[in-house]
């Protein structure tokens, strides 16, 4: 009897899905077309739940560049925008 392969960990499975998605779609940002190496969840893990099949579903993933990715994540974006604006002496009050 062949040895049973060890079950894939969720982390390994996710890395594999990301690799496959990047390979299949050509490593270009699906928003703006520049070379990209990020993968973004359309329905975020925080909504679907970390154990959800959506986390591993290529249909729920888009290849995205760093710039576009920042726009998808207001919490990542805000501190850097605020900092950039401060550097120019502009107050962001809106
Ligand atoms: Zn982009
Ligand atoms: Zn993302």
- How do residues 13-72 score in pLDDT, each as one tens digit? 999 999 999 999 999 999 999 999 899 999 988 899 988 999 999 999 999 999 999 888
CA 81/CA 73 separation, integer angstroms: 12
Q: End-to-end CA distance of the chain, in Å?
A: 67
d(CA 13, ligand 2 centre) in Å: 18
Number of domains the chain contains: 1
In a domain, 33, yes or no: yes
In a domain, 94, yes or no: no
Which pLDDT score, from 0 to 100, does residue 5 have? 82
Structure tokens at 32: 């703006």
d(CA 4, ligand 2 centre) in Å: 35
Which pLDDT score, from 0 to 100, does residue 40 have? 94
Q: Which domain holds residue 53?
A: 10-87
Give yes or no for residue 88 having a pLDDT over 70: no
d(CA 25, ligand 1 centre) in Å: 14
Nearest bound ligand to the CA of residue 30: 1
């Amino acid at each position: 009897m062949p040895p049973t392969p060890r079950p894939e960990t969720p982390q390994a499975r996710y890395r594999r899905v990301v690799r496959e998605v990047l390979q299949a779609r050509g490593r270009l940002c699906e928003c703006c077309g520049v070379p990209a190496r990020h993968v973004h969840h359309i329905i975020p893990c925080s909504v679907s739940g970390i154990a959800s099949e959506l986390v591993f579903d290529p249909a729920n993933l888009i290849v995205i560049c760093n710039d576009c990715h920042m726009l998808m994540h207001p919490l990542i974006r805000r501190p850097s925008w605020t900092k950039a604006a401060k550097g120019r002496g502009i107050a962001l009050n809106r």
